[in-house]
Structure 1
């Protein structure tokens, strides 16, 4: 099930912090916002100390004045519940609400997100402030929705307070019922770790070599997620009860949180905070990295929860705290480019962070649209241009959805298990990045989807190709679903380390790849982790489709053919397993399943893209260089809107082989067109 925001038109907003500024600035701010076609503000998510300056004493008048003035200017308001930043009186009086590191040392007041979700006192105080806040503002005509907390599990996504240890035990009791079941699931017979009393069970604590039981480590992350969802639900239930006409969201998709479950069970839609420059701080060592364009993969993940969503924080300037995360100033055109990157991938409500750069605090270098001096600048002009364009095209684009026939699949169990397991975790990032990057450069739109227990055959069948690179944890039920997908005509691709673990993270006593061995028609005869002095083997593709000397990265599995239908596509040409199969294909029903005994690299992906016959759906009438992202939003009536986003600082030559309408300029284009550095075009056409 997916949940979307419902907007009549593309809408522009901005994060606003009136508590940081003299009241005399507010009216001028709102007047200027409207001139820029900004019609929504988000605020109050860090204002607990204003709402409740002392325990039990409340004052909601400040933001009433702000909202009254905003309403006079026709500006709508998203209110954030203030639980991300408990005030000093609270943490001083009730230190049990503080989070702790794995050694048990408390995180003290002075930052944000320094609380834990498990503390009964913090839950009670959070419930009370949210109830009081909703009661105060639920009838204000400017309010349209609520953001729960702010960036759940940002800053830290692990929790080791005493309250967390206690809550973990209760969660385990509900999951396993008995200690015998827990001991079996965690394999505690190994190293004499068997528990005989629930009080002996804890979250991870310091151990020799910092190596907790791996099955505990997996359940720990499941608990962190469930606890976060529970904390969000506490707040959402109050808003649903008291303000049923307001929508509910929260912002971000951070670690150790099943954001799909959070969205399905609690929210009306998910929101996201989009900062593409994060991808440029550590660009990586691979050839031709995606850089800021890599943020499209994160937006694709958000789209798997809400096909149409809100970006609650869109980068609008250089970012950074006083002591970390410094990012350079966006070049002219990049803020607009990144805005349309969000729109392409499903954003219908785009909220910039922030209106004006703060002059105090940790984020004095996290710049907003306006500088400290509040005078006109090129960022203001660039956002105003986006506002004008939204006013022009917003009614056409809103409600349309991204179209893709290829999907890269992931799941939370393998993500969380892979954080701790070096024998499969690193392979996932390598393969996902290689596939997404080469599909991007090939102008082949792709979705990033998450396999869940609720995933149906219908969810998968809309894709012609699904890449599920390294699902170490695999159940027979999942294998049966994937078999149905292939039989109906789907093409499914696995990678090394598939299917050797159960849901507890324990290894099956069955030949790899376990539950999908029969589907693939192969088993793993031998294997090696590529590490240290162990080199990757070289590959040879049938018909010599790979360059000489190409290597199989990350892990090498030697495949044994067990079904006469299996065709060997590539084999190893070096190491002691030279001549053995490395990549196989088996036809099943109307589809096929592929198994590659390594992590996917860019050359291997490029060869597979050709082998699978994948190409851009508009290649018959449109050509663009690799530097340009191509994606499509389409309506249910058959209209489609082809976005062209130039991430290069050089002009890009685009060839349009038939006359088509360009929405942003309201002109007809054809033949050869120069797309400006960081330029954007949206071409309107009909689906084939």
Structure 2
């Protein structure tokens, strides 16, 4: 059972609330209506530093004391946010060294949020002090359930170039490498005479004529940013653990240059995510091809890889936008409820809508909440009331149950960060991830995302009969040994072009492609080319039938090196026509597939057809592709992302939890409809 579930037997539904934004005369009515909607928890205070400390060293808790007491009288629990995402003006004016800076040295100034840096000793002192004062004051408050550290670490920017960051980075690399000789070797500084002879010469990457920093230094820079962010979170978590030991600790967001897995395992009780599906889910009007409306499920799968049971700290509840950007239209009738169950289906045991009432001032006046400015009932409020009623009945059947998947996509931070700068790999990763995600959705195959980490064990991988590690450019010896054991132990591993030729420093190995992966793939790469509009990717054809296998972005020509390897598809165009494009190798008790390209949707479907990969719906339900299936324990979620009704066919009788009845045969599921089934 998760840390969230232990704090309540029921699903915890709630909302983000800002008592400092509203006249106190509204509080009682707001909390009363929250309770009537089925809410049990609210988040407060993550942007309220000037309320708690209006002047340096002068603290005031009166406003939030009254707000928390009022929430408690209405039976609501409270999540306290530490306010370190928004330092007060008196602090940044007096100590400008606390501010972040662009790579060119231009300092970000007061007037927005997240304009500070994590490295400044002065800023850390003030953060430690406000967190200690707050946690000591609220550590025993009966309403407080837990704490959110900061808000959306590394949001707005995940790059830091203040003077304090350069100093901290210099110390970080000195600790990591010990000597300049080792640093120079790791960064390959002999190239272009970049060799360092004194530690004072070492900085974070800085502007240069070609806007092309040392790639090995840049990879370490991202590792430093992650470690530094975790260090900043740790100083807060440690204080809260000391002052409020009975209250849990989390933080929210899923942003770049941060090892969320390490942060969660080291510091947090569980991870929290902010889910805004309309950021990228522009619905395909015909619901025939894009499935972009399903993209957020992959983000939720990544969240689940960090924390099997997580909180959605901010769930979209209305049209969204800052005054100058993020112009998202209003959720259509039913979409709020659909997105809520999407989050729950993927592992959320607690969910809070953002926000209770739309702000009347500031940058987010168009980031609408459940209530509009006028505070009168609207359709979003009615939709939330339906969700509250439903979860009041069935929420306790869901919480604590684990997501079920037999298929996983492998990821790791080194490859993700390295590919940001690598123009030969970055587009391949995006193309392949999209192709796999879409094809698995169309075939109703739930998928996990699994991060390869230092602590990953063989049993963690063998849980999944099939793994996709599409473009593992960086492949360490330890991870290669683990993957070799996975395949030999009976697993199926699927890989793509640009695999295995870099070490952990991002330097290229002087061995044939695909490096260590050649052992289980049974092939080497004899030739390769980047493809572009002027030199398009070659066509290919399946060996076992007269049908095309489209490739994309890159082509590697493969040579079979093992007696157990077989060519599954060959190129039929370009100068390498006839060369092997896709192979399959028997290795121990398992199989390894290797495609010398980025994965297209057609290629993925062809591989899945030949593997005979089943859907968990097989044998009891026929589902259209507009519907996603997600399973937590014995609870099955069926989510219709279409703006039109769809037909489902149940081959056996199933129990409909939301409607308290049974279903059999052909059933119509309304537009943006949800079924929650217990099997």
Under a length normalisation based on structure 1, what TM-score does the superposition of the two structures give?
Answer: 0.97
Quote the offset at 1:291 in angstroms.
Answer: 2.2
Deviations 1:109-154 (A, max 9, x none): 0010000000000001000000001111111100000000000000
Whole-angstrom CA distance in 2 between matches of 1:258 and 1:495: 24
Quote the offset at 1:273 in angstroms.
Answer: 0.2
Deviations 1:436-455 (A, max 9, x none): 11101110111111111110
| 3-state DSSP of counterpart to 1:400 | coil
Counterpart in 2 of 1:402?
403
| 3-state DSSP of counterpart to 2:274 | strand
Quote the offset at 1:5 in angstroms.
Answer: 5.4
Counterpart in 2 of 1:384?
385
Q: Is the 8 A contact 1:185 1:215 kept in 2?
A: yes
Equivalent residues in 2 for 1:81-480 (5 A)?
81-280=82-281, 288-480=289-481
Counterpart in 2 of 1:519?
520
Counterpart in 1 of 2:638?
644
Q: Which residue of 648, 663, 673 maps to 1:654?
A: 648
Q: Is the 8 A contact 2:536 2:553 kept in 1?
A: no
Q: Which residue of 644, 651, 666 maps to 1:672?
A: 666
Q: Is the 8 A contact 1:5 1:306 kept in 2?
A: no
Deviations 1:304-346 (A, max 9, x none): 1111110000000000000001100000000000000000000
Q: Is the 8 A contact 1:3 1:306 kept in 2?
A: no
Q: Is the 8 A contact 2:4 2:350 kept in 1?
A: no
Whole-angstrom CA distance in 1 between matches of 2:109 and 2:482: 48
CA 312–293 in structure 1, closer or farther in 2 if over 3 Å, else same:
same
Quote the offset at 1:648 in angstroms.
Answer: 0.3
Segments ≥4 residues shifted beyond 6 Å: 1-4
Equivalent residues in 2 for 1:36-51 (5 A)?
36-51=37-52
Deviations 1:274-305 (A, max 9, x none): 00111136989x98222232100000001011
Whole-angstrom CA distance in 2 between matches of 1:5 and 1:427: 39
Q: Is the 8 A contact 1:3 1:264 kept in 2?
A: no
Q: Is the 8 A contact 2:5 2:399 kept in 1?
A: no
Whole-angstrom CA distance in 2 between matches of 1:111 and 1:615: 50
Whole-angstrom CA distance in 1 between matches of 2:450 and 2:559: 30
Deviations 1:566-610 (A, max 9, x none): 010011111111111111111111111111100000000011111
CA 275–34 in structure 1, closer or farther in 2 if over 3 Å, else same:
same
Q: Is the 8 A contact 1:8 1:399 kept in 2?
A: no
Deviations 1:56-83 (A, max 9, x none): 0000111000000100000000000000
Q: Is the 8 A contact 2:281 2:293 kept in 1?
A: yes
Q: Is the 8 A contact 1:5 1:268 kept in 2?
A: no
Greater mean alpha carbon deviation, residues 337-346 or residues 582-591: 582-591
Whole-angstrom CA distance in 2 between matches of 1:249 and 1:8: 19
| 3-state DSSP of counterpart to 1:501 | coil
| Number of residue pairs matched by the alignment | 678
Q: Is the 8 A contact 2:19 2:67 kept in 1?
A: yes
Q: Is the 8 A contact 1:500 1:507 kept in 2?
A: yes
Whole-angstrom CA distance in 1 between matches of 2:499 and 2:45: 46
Quote the offset at 1:532 in angstroms.
Answer: 4.4
CA 661–384 in structure 1, closer or farther in 2 if over 3 Å, else same:
same
Quote the offset at 1:666 in angstroms.
Answer: 0.7
Whole-angstrom CA distance in 2 between matches of 1:563 and 1:317: 57
| 3-state DSSP of counterpart to 2:303 | helix
Counterpart in 2 of 1:598?
597
Deviations 1:218-257 (A, max 9, x none): 0000000000000000000000011111000000110000
Q: Is the 8 A contact 2:643 2:672 kept in 1?
A: yes
Counterpart in 2 of 1:637?
none
Greater mean alpha carbon deviation, residues 365-374 or residues 610-619: 610-619
Whole-angstrom CA distance in 2 between matches of 1:279 and 1:546: 33
Quote the offset at 1:544 in angstroms.
Answer: 2.2
Equivalent residues in 2 for 1:476-515 (5 A)?
476-515=477-516
Q: Does 1:587 align with 2:586?
A: yes
Counterpart in 1 of 2:570?
571
CA 2–461 in structure 1, closer or farther in 2 if over 3 Å, else same:
farther
Deviations 1:607-628 (A, max 9, x none): 1111111121221010110000
Query: Over aligned residues, Cα RMSD in angstroms?
Result: 1.5
Q: Is the 8 A contact 1:653 1:672 kept in 2?
A: yes
Whole-angstrom CA distance in 1 between matches of 2:158 and 2:5: 27
Q: Which runs of 5+ in 2 are unaligned?
A: none
| 3-state DSSP of counterpart to 1:349 | strand
Whole-angstrom CA distance in 2 between matches of 1:457 and 1:2: 23
Deviations 1:16-75 (A, max 9, x none): 001010000000001101110011000000000000000000001110000001000000
Quote the offset at 1:535 in angstroms.
Answer: 1.6
Whole-angstrom CA distance in 2 between matches of 1:454 and 1:5: 26
| 3-state DSSP of counterpart to 1:38 | coil
Counterpart in 1 of 2:21?
20
Whole-angstrom CA distance in 1 between matches of 2:438 and 2:315: 23
Whole-angstrom CA distance in 2 between matches of 1:546 and 1:675: 35
Q: Is the 8 A contact 1:5 1:309 kept in 2?
A: no
Quote the offset at 1:629 in angstroms.
Answer: 0.5
Whole-angstrom CA distance in 2 between matches of 1:223 and 1:521: 37
Whole-angstrom CA distance in 1 between matches of 2:546 and 2:116: 55
CA 168–250 in structure 1, closer or farther in 2 if over 3 Å, else same:
same
Counterpart in 1 of 2:552?
553
Deviations 1:617-646 (A, max 9, x none): 221010110000111110xxxxx1111100
Deviations 1:626-677 (A, max 9, x none): 000111110xxxxx11111000011010000111110001111111100000
| 3-state DSSP of counterpart to 1:123 | helix
Whole-angstrom CA distance in 2 between matches of 1:406 and 1:648: 25
Whole-angstrom CA distance in 2 between matches of 1:101 and 1:532: 34
Q: Which runs of 5+ in 1 are unaligned?
A: 635-639
Quote the offset at 1:551 in angstroms.
Answer: 2.8
Deviations 1:83-102 (A, max 9, x none): 00001101000000000000
CA 650–281 in structure 1, closer or farther in 2 if over 3 Å, else same:
closer
Under a length normalisation based on structure 2, what TM-score does the superposition of the two structures give?
Answer: 0.98
Whole-angstrom CA distance in 1 between matches of 2:3 and 2:73: 31
Q: Is the 8 A contact 2:283 2:291 kept in 1?
A: no
CA 627–545 in structure 1, closer or farther in 2 if over 3 Å, else same:
farther
Whole-angstrom CA distance in 2 between matches of 1:22 and 1:3: 35
Q: Is the 8 A contact 1:558 1:597 kept in 2?
A: yes
